[in-house]
Structure 1
Amino acid sequence: MTHPLQGKRPAGIAIGAITAALMLNGSALAQYQQAPELDALVSSGALPPVAERLPANPLVIEPVDSVGTYGGTWRSALRGGLDNAWIARTVAYDGLVRYDREWKEIIPNLAESWEVSADARTYTFKLREGLKWNNGTPFTSADIAFAVELFAEPSYGGGTFMKNPNNPVTVEVIDDTTFSFVFEHPNGLIMDDLASVNGLTVVSLSKDYCSQFYPKYNPDAAANAKAAGFETWELHMTDRCSWATETIRWANPDLPMMNAWMIDDPLTGDATRASFKRNPYYWKVDTEGNQLPYIDRLDMRVSDSLEEITLMALNGEIDFQDRHIATVANQPLFFDGQEGGDYRLGANVPSSMNTLVLQFNLNHVDEKRRELFANKDFRIGVSHLLDREEIIDVVFTGQGEPFQAAPRPESPFYDEEMAKQYTEFDPDAAAAAFERAGLSKGGDGVYTFGDGSPLKVTITSSPRSVRNGWT
C-alpha cells in the first residue's frame, strides 16, 4: 500500500533532508549560512550571527536527494486539540540520540557520543558543545539532571525510565557537556527508549526556565502558583512546562525547545490552528553549511472532523501527512483524486507486519472448537480460502502482496517460506486440509464436525483504521 499523502512540495523542502543524519568526520564546516528571513534580525542585533548560534560541532545532515532551498510552509492537520502524536513525529523527534533512516542503528543527535559500562548500568553521554535552547540560553548537562530530578518527583505520575521503581536512575553531572545515567540494575533497553519519540522527555525541561516553578529552586513557587490561579505548584509547573502531559507542551510559546521549529500559534483547548516557526538556534546544518530547517513554518489545521481533514487532502490543501487519513477506506479516494488534487501517494514502509490477522481462540470454552482451532490443518484450510489477491485489488487498489503473520522483508528475521506459505487462493487445497482436520462438507456446502453438528465460527474485528497493504 502506498501512502502517506504527499502534496506539492513546499518551497525549500528536500525530502529526507531533516531525517537522514551523518557526521562528517566529527568536524564543523568552515562557513555557515542561515535562512534569509533571519537576516534582518541579525543585522538589527536581535539575533547573534549564525556561527554564534550553532554549536561548535553541529550535526551535519546529508540530504537524500539534494541540498534544499529555504522557504515555504508545510501544511497538515490535527484531529482535535488533544492530538499531539503528529506533532511528536514531525516537530519533536530530537532526543539525545535517534535512529538512522533505515531504523537499523542508533546514531548521535544532541549527544555527539556515548559510552556504556560493561555491566550496562552506567551510560555516559557527551553533548555537543555550545548547544542552545530556542531562546538562546545554553543547553547543558544541568538540564538533563533537572529533568530526571523533576520527573522522579512523587507527585509526577508518568511512566518514563526516570521513574521506574524497579530500576531507579540518578544523573552524575561531570561537566557542562558530559553526564552519566547511573541505574541501580543493568538497563539494556535504555538506548532504544532514548532513540524513540519518548526520548523527547529527558531533553524537554530547561532548568533556567522551569526551575522558577519548582519550590526547591524558588521558595516563592507555591505562592506564585496561587497568584497565577493554580492550587499547587505542580499544576502551575504542568501548565507552563508540560510536566505531566504531552499535549500542554504545545500550548506555551515561552517554553524553551530544542526542535527545528518552535511554537507560534499554540495548541490550546479551543484552537482551530496550531503553527510552528523556525528555531534560529537549531543545531543542525546540511553538507554545505546551511542551518536547518529549510522550511519556514508548519501550519496545522485543528479539526475534530476526519471528513474535513480528508477533504482538505483531496483538495491539495495538505502537503504531507499520513496520520488519520491514510486508511483503507480512503485509499481508493486518494488514488483516484491525485490529478484533481495535484498530489501524489508516497511509498511508506509501515512497522506492522500485516493488515489483518485472523487469530483463532485456542482457549475456546467449547471443547470441539478449541480442538479444531488448535489443529494446524484447519488453519491451513482457512488460509487457502482467503483470496488475498482480490482483496488487494479491490480494497487496496492493487497495492500490497499476500503475506502471512511473519516478520517483514525489512527484518533480519524475514523468512520467505514462513511469510508466503499457504497464501495461495486454492479451494481444493482448503477442502483437503479441512478433511484432514476431521471436518465433513455436506451437500449444502456447510462443514460439520465428526458428530454431524454444523461448524459456525464468529469473527470479531477491531474498528481501528488499517494502514497497511499486506494481506
Structure 2
Amino acid sequence: MRLNLSTVFAAGICASLAAPAAAQDILTVAQRQDPQNWDPVDTFLVAWGSVASNIYDGLVRRDENLDLQPGLAESWEVLDEGMRLRFKLREGVSFHNGEPFDAEAVKYTFDRLLGEVGGTGPQQSNYTTIDHVEIIDDYTVDFHMAQPDPVMLTKLAGYGAMIVPPDYIEEVGEEEFDMNPVGTGPFKFESYTQGAQVELSANEDYFDGVPEVDGLVFRFIREDATRLAELQSGAVDIMADVAFSAVPTIDSAGNLEIVSVPGPTIYSLALKTVEPAATADLRVRKALNMAIDKQALIDAFLAGRGQPIDSLQGELSFGYDPEMEGYAYDPEAARALLEEAGVPQGAEMTIDYRAGNSTFNEVAQALTGFFANVGLKVGLNPIEDGVFLNEIVPQGRTNEMYQFSWGGWTFDFDNTAYLSYHEGEKWNPYGTSEEMNALLEEQRNSTDQAEREEILQEIARLAHEEAYHIPLYNEETVYAVADGVEGFVPAPDKRLRLNSVSLSDQ
C-alpha cells in the first residue's frame, strides 16, 4: 500500500516536515490478536512472533523451511558433549537506538531471562537448561549448560531468546521497554496503539540488507469479518488468521490469493482432572474423546485444511508417532462408559474457550451437539483472551473442559509436552503424574535423538492413556495476500519476517 509516510508515522519519520513527503511503501498486515507487550520474556503468543520477529533478532534464525541459519551469531560450535555452546558474534551490528551489539548484550539478555525478570514471564522454563553465559571476548560467548539440551539451538531462534539492549532497558525501565521495544531487526518500532496497531519503519542499517518496504503496519482486528472486509477494500495487504469459512470468498476474488502451509498449531479441549469435576474420572475423559468426529469438524469448519490429531502435535513435530491410535469416534461406547462412571443422562458440563475466534466458536457449538448425542448437556462459556490466559487457566478456575490451542513453534514435542504436562507449569493447573514428570525430564537429559524421540512418543502415549486432553486437529497456516505483494513466503511457525517483501505499482 502506497501511503504518505507522515500520515502513518506521525511521530516524525519524515526527514522534513516543511517539504511534502514522498509516497512510501507501507506494507499493512492484519491479524486477530494484539500481544499487548513487546518484551520477549513476557510472551508465549504466536501473535507476538509475527510482529516482533521483524523487530528483534536471535543468535540463530530459523527460515521458512525450518532450517537453522546464522542470525546475530555468525557461527557456533557444540563442545564438551553438548555441555558448552560457543557462538561467534557478528561485528558492526547496532540496536535501533545506536547501542552496540556485542557479547555484553548477549550475557545481559540471558542473565535477565534466567533471573528475576524472566521468572515473572512464561519463557524462562524453555531455557533453564542454560546454567550461565560466559563472555570470552567482545564477540565470543560460551553457553555453559546445566544439562545438554538437544533443542537449544532451535530455542535460541525463538521468542525468549531475542537479544535485547542492556543500556536502553536499564535507562528506561521494564515497563517502558514493554511498550517501546528496541532490537536489532530489519524494522524499528515507531508507535503502538493498544488494541489497534503497531507501526514499524525500515532499519536502513540492517546487517542483512535494507528491507524492500519503508515501513510495516500491523493492525489488530479481532473480528474475522472485519479483517476480511479491510482486505477486500485494499486497506490491508496481507491477512493472517484467515477464517476458514472465508477461504471460498477469497479464492473467488480476482485480486486476492490464498497462501497456506502446514503449521504447528493444534486445537484441543483440556480436561479438568480434579474433584469435584466429573472429568476427574478417567472413564468420563475417555468417553468425551469417543464422542467427537474430528474429521467432520475439519470438513465443516476448516474447509478441509487440517488433520485429525491423537496427541498435542502434528506430523511435522519431532516426537510424532504415526503408529499411535487415538480414540475412535464411537458414541455408543462413549454412552456406555458414561453410564459405567455413574454420569446421568442430561448431566451438565461447560466448555470454557477464548472469545474472538469465529472458527473455534463454530467448532465449540458443534462439540455441544456431539456431546448431546451421548447424553450430556454441555454449555459454552466464551472468555476474553487476557482473562482466559492470565486468570482462568493458570489459576485452575476452569470448568470441566477448556480450550487448549498451542502454536508449537519449535516443531519439537518437548516444547508442548513439558509446558502442558510437567508439574508446576502454567498450562498444567491440575497436575499429571510422577511418571509423566520423570519422562519429561528424561528426554530433556538425553543427547541421543533416537532415544529422545522414543521417550517423546511414550509421553504422547501416556497422555493418551490418561486422556488429559481431547486432541482435535492440527490446522494449516493460512494467509490471504492482495495483488501487488511480491516475495511473500508463508512461515509454518507464523513468525513472519517481511524484510524481503515488496509492493509493486498497481
**Same fold per superposition (TM over 0.5):** yes
Partner of 2:396: none
Partner of 1:129: 91
Q: Distance in 2 between matches of 1:165 and 1:83?
A: 20
Q: Secondary structure at the match of 1:418?
A: coil
Deviation (angstroms), 1:463? 1.9
Matches within 5 A, 1:1-400: 72-77=25-30, 82=36, 84=38, 86=47, 88-90=49-51, 91-103=54-66, 106-118=68-80, 120-134=82-96, 138-148=100-110, 158-159=120-121, 169-182=131-144, 185-186=146-147, 188=149, 190-200=152-162, 203-205=163-165, 207=167, 213=171, 236-238=172-174, 242=177, 245=178, 247-249=179-181, 255=182, 257-264=183-190, 266-267=191-192, 273-284=197-208, 291-301=209-219, 308-322=226-240, 325-326=241-242, 330-340=243-253, 342-353=255-266, 355-357=267-269, 365=276, 370=281, 372-373=283-284, 378=287, 383=290, 386-400=292-306
Question: Contact 1:76–1:299 (CA<8 Å) still a contact in 2?
Answer: yes
User: Would the alpha carbon gap of residues 122 and 162 (structure 1) be closer, same or farther in structure 2, given more than 3 Å must change?
Assistant: farther
Deviation string 1:288-326 (CA, Å, 9 cap, x unpaired) is xxx34223321233567776445323434322232xx43
Q: Distance in 2 between matches of 1:149 and 1:405?
A: 34
Deviation (angstroms), 1:197? 1.4
Deviation (angstroms), 1:147? 4.1
- Aligned pairs, how many? 331
Question: Contact 1:131–1:138 (CA<8 Å) still a contact in 2?
Answer: yes
One-letter code aligned to 2:147: P
Deviation (angstroms), 1:417? 4.3
Q: Secondary structure at the match of 2:306?
A: coil
Gaps of 5+ in 2: 3-14, 16-23, 39-44, 361-404, 406-471, 476-506
Deviation string 1:94-152 (CA, Å, 9 cap, x unpaired) is 2011334343x543211012234426554321012333334666422233234456667
Identity %: 21
One-letter code aligned to 1:411: S
Question: Contact 1:132–1:139 (CA<8 Å) still a contact in 2?
Answer: yes
Deviation (angstroms), 1:260? 0.6
Q: Distance in 2 between matches of 1:261 and 1:126?
A: 24
Q: Secondary structure at the match of 2:263?
A: coil
> Which structure shows the higher strand fraction?
2
Q: Distance in 2 between matches of 1:132 and 1:369?
A: 54
Question: Contact 1:172–1:180 (CA<8 Å) still a contact in 2?
Answer: yes
Partner of 2:364: none
User: Would the alpha carbon gap of residues 416 and 409 (structure 1) be closer, same or farther in structure 2, given more than 3 Å must change?
Assistant: same
Q: Secondary structure at the match of 2:219?
A: strand
Question: Contact 1:448–1:454 (CA<8 Å) still a contact in 2?
Answer: yes
Question: Contact 1:81–1:267 (CA<8 Å) still a contact in 2?
Answer: no
Question: Contact 1:406–1:419 (CA<8 Å) still a contact in 2?
Answer: no
One-letter code aligned to 1:205: P
Q: Distance in 2 between matches of 1:82 and 1:388?
A: 33
Q: Normalising by structure 1, report the TM-score.
A: 0.55
RMSD: 4.6
Question: Contact 2:199–2:216 (CA<8 Å) still a contact in 1?
Answer: yes
Q: Distance in 1 between matches of 2:297 and 2:261?
A: 19
Deviation (angstroms), 1:193? 3.3
Q: Secondary structure at the match of 2:161?
A: helix
Question: Contact 1:332–1:396 (CA<8 Å) still a contact in 2?
Answer: yes
Deviation string 1:146-191 (CA, Å, 9 cap, x unpaired) is 44566678688645888999888544322221122345x3362643
> Which structure shows the higher helix fraction?
2
Q: Distance in 2 between matches of 1:261 and 1:450?
A: 57
Question: Contact 2:35–2:48 (CA<8 Å) still a contact in 1?
Answer: no
Q: Distance in 2 between matches of 1:341 and 1:422?
A: 42
